[in-house]
Every structure is written in structure tokens, then in C-alpha cells.
């Protein structure tokens, strides 16, 4: 493959001021009749937006919200210092020649509860207690009438939770409460209540308290680390030589039973001084640890693997991808130290929807002790099919602490982490790596045989180095060389998959399967295209329906109150910063679109298709308002990555 300027071309927001030069490297080849200039593109959107807004106002829009009129407020780029005019002037300046790269580290971070200052007490919302949980220390409102007076207007006439399950657990705080509130403000319940599907891998409150108080004992991890301290590599000795661990009463401790038969949850943290009562006959499974050859196999060869995507790879997005044909899903990268501390936000990354039939979690860490203890904790408390180690994260925050890509240069620590985690886990252990750290110094072919010997069940190789990032195409020729080095361990390839042709070429290298990352963000229906071996010229209305389904899944997952709505909006906007790069099939001069090709300015076949092609954050907000209603006052959004939108 020829090296392209992936992510570099048009990183300031497009492929130039005009569509001339559609054959220019790094620019998507769009048919000339659709091409336009930057000025004409935005004039068209603003004119149509004002026209639609005036129609809505004449029809009696209750909110009276004017998307075009509040554009300057929305696009404010400062950190909330009130300099709206200066920010608006700044956005009108011509684009700088320097390419925007990296993350928007200084962007304003407004938590969802910032938009919901007058919050109702949870005891009144849940209708499950006669008195407040917090007593006299409660800082929430207890007057429902006062709350309703200050509550913003409803965002729509239909509540997704009420229509789907027959009852909305958010009651009066729901932003669609008019659909299920009675004349006296009571929360209505339909005759046939459908129970919501259980979301697995949630953090139990009792377990969280034990983690915060450090009351959890990690017997298997301590045993593996003890062997490590003696100079023996865990997992390298036959199972028969592993000494039996004795309990407090001098009886053999049922070590494996803690992970497999004990109830999942807080009971797994019982100190070893209190022997657990069991019943039934004693079997070998109770006292003998599984040998590596007896572990559950991870048979995903030939399946489509959705990569763990930070920020965008949330549970609602994974549900969208599962619907379009993704076979294997993995949670977002979770930091092991945060999991061991019981942080709610980190444990939320482990949640699993019932539709995810093959699901894993990805851990990031730099040291054997924390990674091994975290692996044992997850082995006890969550339901997963595999655990993945992140050795591919390139960001400085992780790399400088010795995690992510840094482990590729710390082979001793890397080996200890893999061996110790493999010993305490009852599910397969997988690893995701890059070609190396430096651009011209490949390390993967040296590490793969070692990973096979250390006990990894599968390795995924991203065909780029840390230093390279996305400035060049993935090196699939090198991935092909690594397939031989990894054999017989299965190797998945990752990088630049955006069409079924890309997938077919990747499979010709001999990889066991492909992992899809950015391609799924640009078009989640890619999984359908691969399985049906065709290009899908999806319409703008169908794409809007996908976004609507995402918001419905988001309201189910994060809630339909103000916090849940704004959290759903935030993740929707982050996803839209990738979706705008997609070019409809019917507009392309040649097929397929390549992942390193940024679209020039073009007018779509209808207004919605043109709006979805905008790389301006204010237009993404406009799309979110179609689905989630008007944004709160002083709403600000900047995408996580600078390359995803221009200022």
C-alpha cells in the first residue's frame, strides 16, 4: 500500500476551500457536480437552517429556540470566561496553515449535573422510601411543586423508557415526563410492565465499600506474586508443583472455588480467616487449579471484532454495532488502579449488554501487582469471555507511567504481567500491541513468540507504531510477517479497514481475523457491508434513524433525566465528530472511500446529507437538537481530538 496522509490531510477541517483537485492525495474523490466551496457550503446550511427555524416558530414551537441565532454562543471556544464575542470573532478568522493535531486538552469540562442545579431528592424520585436516605444532611430538594416550577420544559412528548418497559424510573425528573405523569403528578405505570434487560458487570455498593477500605484479599494474586518474588515465573512450573494454600483452621483452602462457585459480588472479598461454608461433594475442581490447556478456548477466528474505543466505544454504540453484525465486542480501556479503588466511572466501562454474546474487557496498567490483583478481582465479580491487556495506547499520560506502548520496551515487566494475570484468570488472556514504539524500529515480531510462550491466547496487532500515530497507513505487509512469527497462536490485524475490499485484502495476509476501530466510527454499518460483500449507499434518513436509535439506547443506559440526556448528547457529539468524515457511496467517483481520505466541501443529495457532512461543531449540535431537544443555556462543546473539527 502507498503511504497516505491519513488524518493529516484536511486536519483543519476539510480538503481545501474548493473541490477542485479531487484526485489530490488524501482527499476523497467526489463527483464534480456535488463539489462546492467552503463559503457556499456554510451559506447553504445557514440559509436552510434559518428557513426551517422560521417555519418551526410560525408553527408555534413552544421552546422558541433558534438554532441559527445561538450559533455564536454554542461555538464558544473559551473556558467559560464569557468572552463570547471574541470567541465568535476567533472562529471567523481564516484557518491557520499549521495542522491541528493531538487532543483538545484545554477544552471546558462541564459535568452533566452542571445543567441540573435544583435536583430532586432520590428518595422522592425512586418512591422507595418513606424518609430521605441522607436525613438532615440532604442537599437536594424535597418540595416536588418547587422542583416542577424550576424544571425546564419537556424535550418531547414520548418517553423511551415508558414506551419500552411500561414504567419510567425517573418519574418527575424525566425530561419527557409529560408522557407518564398523571394529573396530580404521580408516575403512571402501564398494565403490562416489561422488565428491563439486566446490565451485567455493575459495581455492587458493598463491593465498592470493601475496595475503598482495602478489605478485599487477593489470595491467588499474592500466590503468583510470591512465586515471582522467589524468581519463579508464574505459570512456568507444572501445576503439580504448586504448593497447597492452607486456611486458618489448617484445612485446605478452596482457592478455585472463590472464583467459580462463590456468589459474585461482595461475598468474594471474605477474609481467609473466615472459612466459607460449602455443601455437596468435594471434587477435584474445588482444590485443583485449571491447567492452561484446560482453560476455556477463545474461538473467534474469522469473526468481526469491534475494537475497544475510548470515549466512543460505549455500551449504546456497541449495541448499534452488534445490530449491524459485529461478532466480538470489548469494553473501553479501564485503568486497573482505578478499578481497585472502586471508582464508579471506571467500573461503568465494564458493563455488558445482553446482546453482547462474546464480550471482553481491556485493562491498562504498568506493574504486575496491580494488574494481577485487578485480574483476580474481575475473575470473581464480572462475566466476561476474555480479558485483554492494552499494550497499544500511545497517549503520553499512559506511556510516561510505563503502561500502554511502553510495556513493549519493558519486556521483563511485560512478561511478569502476562504470566501472573494468566495464572489468576479462568478465562483466556489476550493482548493488543502495536508494531513498536519508534517508527522504524519494529518490535512486534520479536514479542509475539514470547507472548505465545507466556500464555496469551490471542494477540491483536495494530499496524502502526506509537511515534507514527495516524500519519501513515497501517503496515499490513509487516502484519503478514508477524503471522508466521506468532503461529500457531492466532493473530488479529487492525488498521485502515473501511470497506469489505479492505477486509478481504487483510484476510489474505493470513490473520485469524480483523479488528475494526475507526471504520466502525465512520460507518457502523461496515459490518453489514463486510458480511454481505457489498457497498451500502445508505440514505441520510437511514443514518438519522441510526442516531435516533443511539439516543434511545443512551437514554436507557444513562437515564432520561437532565444528567442522562446531556451525557447522551455529549457522547453523540463525540461520535458525530467521526461520522462527518463519511462520504455517501453515490457521491464518489470511485469506490471504496479510503480511511485516509478526508472529504472536500460538497453539497449532498438533500439538506440532511449536507448537514451531516459538516465538520463544524455547531452543526453537530444542531443534529443533536433534532434528537434530544434544545441544548441548555451556555452549552459548549469541543471534540476530544483537534483533527475532528476546525475552529
Return the active site residues. Answer: 393
**In terms of Cα–Cα distance, which of 92, 96, 141, 151 is closest to 119?**
141
Query: Cβ neighbours of residue 360 under 8 Å, at least 6 residues apart?
Result: 328, 329, 330, 331, 384, 385, 386, 387, 388, 430
**In terms of Cα–Cα distance, which of 425, 284, 290, 316 is closest to 361?**
425
| Eight-state DSSP code of residue 589 | S
| Rounded-to-integer distance, Cα 226 and Cα 632, Å | 55
Measure Cα distances from 304 to 46, 131, 300, 609 in Å.
40, 51, 8, 28
DSSP class per residue in 123-154: HHHHT--SS-SSGGG--SB--HHHHHHHSPPP
Strand partners, 305: 328, 515
Query: Cβ neighbours of residue 446 under 8 Å, at least 6 residues apart?
Result: 485
| Rounded-to-integer distance, Cα 119 and Cα 432, Å | 43
Measure Cα distances from 174 to 151, 152, 157, 158, 629 in Å.
10, 10, 11, 11, 13
| Rounded-to-integer distance, Cα 35 and Cα 41, Å | 9
Number of CB atoms found within 10 A of residue 175's CB: 25
SS3 390: strand
Dig out the grid coordinates for 344 from the structure.
464508579
Compute, in degrees rounded to 10, the torsion defined by CA atoms 86, 88, 90, 96. Answer: 170
| Eight-state DSSP code of residue 114 | G
- Region of residue 397 (phi > 0: left; psi between -120 and 50: alpha; otherwise: beta): alpha
| Rounded-to-integer distance, Cα 153 and Cα 156, Å | 9
SS3 267: helix
Query: Cβ neighbours of residue 63 under 8 Å, at least 6 residues apart?
Result: 153, 629, 630
Long-range contacts of 288-296 (CB under 8 A, 24+ apart): 288/239, 288/256, 289/239, 289/242, 289/255, 289/256, 290/256, 290/426, 291/239, 292/235, 292/422, 292/455, 295/426, 295/427, 295/428, 295/457, 296/385, 296/426, 296/427, 296/428
Measure Cα distances from 267 to 204, 250, 271, 429 in Å.
11, 22, 10, 25
Query: Cβ neighbours of residue 293 under 8 Å, at least 6 residues apart?
Result: none
Q: Which residue's C-alpha cell is 491498562?
A: 364
SS3 annotation, 316-370: HHHHHHHHCCCCEEEEEEEEHHHHHCCCHHHHHHHCECCCCCCEEEEEECCCHHH
Q: Are 622 and 576 in contact (CB under 8 A)?
A: no
Amino acid at each position: 500500500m502507498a503511504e497516505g496522509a491519513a488524518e493529516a490531510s484536511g486536519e483543519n477541517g476539510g480538503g481545501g476551500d474548493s473541490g477542485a483537485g479531487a484526485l489530490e492525495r488524501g482527499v476523497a474523490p467526489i463527483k464534480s457536480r456535488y463539489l462546492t466551496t467552503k463559503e457556499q457550503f456554510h451559506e447553504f446550511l445557514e440559509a436552510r437552517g434559518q428557513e426551517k427555524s422560521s417555519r418551526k416558530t410560525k408553527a408555534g414551537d413552544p421552546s422558541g429556540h433558534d438554532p441559527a441565532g445561538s450559533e455564536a454562543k454554542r461555538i464558544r471556544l473559551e473556558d467559560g470566561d464569557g468572552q463570547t464575542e471574541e470567541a465568535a470573532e476567533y472562529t471567523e478568522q481564516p484557518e491557520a496553515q499549521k495542522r491541528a493535531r493531538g487532543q483538545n486538552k484545554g477544552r471546558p469540562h462541564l459535568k452533566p449535573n452542571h445543567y441540573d442545579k435544583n435536583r430532586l431528592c432520590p428518595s422522592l424520585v425512586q418512591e422507595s422510601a418513606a424518609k430521605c436516605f441522607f436525613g438532615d444532611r440532604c442537599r437536594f430538594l424535597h418540595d416536588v411543586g418547587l422542583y416542577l416550577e424550576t424544571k425546564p420544559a419537556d424535550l418531547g412528548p414520548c418517553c423511551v423508557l415508558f414506551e419500552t418497559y411500561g414504567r419510567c424510573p425517573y418519574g418527575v425528573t424525566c425530561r419527557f415526563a409529560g408522557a407518564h405523569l398523571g394529573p396530580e403528578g404521580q408516575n403512571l405505570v402501564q398494565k403490562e410492565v416489561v422488565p428491563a434487560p439486566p446490565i451485567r458487570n455493575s459495581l455492587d455498593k458493598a463491593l465498592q465499600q470493601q475496595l475503598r477500605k482495602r478489605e478485599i484479599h487477593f489470595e491467588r494474586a499474592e500466590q503468583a506474586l510470591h512465586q515471582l518474588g522467589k524468581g519463579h515465573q508464574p505459570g512456568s512450573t507444572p501445576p503439580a508443583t504448586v504448593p497447597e494454600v492452607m486456611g486458618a483452621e489448617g484445612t485446605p483452602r478452596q482457592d478455585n472455588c472463590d472464583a467459580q462457585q462463590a456468589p459474585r459480588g461482595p461475598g468474594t472479598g471474605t477474609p481467609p480467616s473466615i472459612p466459607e461454608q460449602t455443601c455437596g461433594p468435594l471434587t477435584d475442581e474445588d482444590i485443583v487449579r485449571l491447567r492452561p490447556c484446560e482453560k476455556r478456548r477463545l474461538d473467534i477466528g474469522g469473526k468481526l471484532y469491534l475494537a475497544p474505543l475510548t470515549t466512543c466505544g460505549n455500551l449504546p454504540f456497541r449495541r448499534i454495532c452488534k445490530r449491524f453484525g459485529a461478532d466480538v465486542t470489548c469494553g473501553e480501556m479501564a485503568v486497573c488502579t482505578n478499578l481497585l479503588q472502586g471508582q464508579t466511572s471506571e467500573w461503568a466501562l465494564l458493563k455488558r449488554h445482553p446482546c453482547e454474546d462474546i464480550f471482553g474487557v481491556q485493562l491498562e496498567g504498568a506493574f504486575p501487582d496491580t494488574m494481577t490483583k485487578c485480574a483476580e478481582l474481575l475473575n470473581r465479580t464480572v462475566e466476561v469471555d476474555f480479558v485483554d491487556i492494552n499494550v497499544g495506547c500511545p497517549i503520553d499520560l499512559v506511556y510516561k507511567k510505563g503502561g500502554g506502548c511502553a510495556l513493549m520496551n519493558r519486556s521483563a515487566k511485560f512478561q511478569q504481567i502476562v504470566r501472573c494475570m494468566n495464572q489468576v484468570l479462568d478465562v483466556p488472556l489476550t493482548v493488543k500491541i502495536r508494531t513498536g514504539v519508534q517508527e522504524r524500529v519494529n518490535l512486534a515480531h520479536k514479542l509475539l513468540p514470547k507472548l505465545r510462550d507466556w500464555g496469551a491466547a490471542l494477540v491483536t496487532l495494530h499496524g502502526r507504531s506509537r511515534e507514527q500515530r495516524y500519519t501513515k497507513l497501517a503496515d499490513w505487509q509487516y502484519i503478514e510477517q508477524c503471522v508466521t512469527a506468532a503461529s500457531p497462536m492466532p493473530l488479529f490485524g487492525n488498521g485502515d479497514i473501511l470497506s469489505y475490499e479492505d477486509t478481504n485484502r487483510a484476510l489474505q495476509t493470513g490473520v485469524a481475523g480483523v479488528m475494526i476501530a475507526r471504520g466502525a466510527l465512520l460507518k457502523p454499518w461496515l459490518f453489514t457491508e463486510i458480511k454481505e460483500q457489498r457497498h451500502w449507499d445508505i440514505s441520510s434518513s437511514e443514518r438519522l434513524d441510526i442516531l435516533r436509535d443511539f439516543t434511545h439506547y443512551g437514554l436507557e443506559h444513562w437515564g432520561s433525566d437532565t444528567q442522562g440526556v446531556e451525557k447522551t448528547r455529549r457522547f453523540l457529539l463525540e461520535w458525530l465528530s467521526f461520522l462527518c468524515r463519511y462520504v455517501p457511496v453515490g457521491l464518489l467517483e470511485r469506490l471504496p472511500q479510503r480511511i485516509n481520505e478526508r472529504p472536500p466541501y460538497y453539497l449532498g443529495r438533500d439538506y440532511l446529507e449536507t448537514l451531516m457532512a459538516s465538520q463544524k461543531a455547531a452543526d453537530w449540535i444542531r443534529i443533536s437538537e433534532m434528537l434530544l431537544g434544545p441544548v441548555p443555556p451556555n452549552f459548549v462543546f469541543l471534540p476530544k481530538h483537534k483533527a475532528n473539527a476546525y475552529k
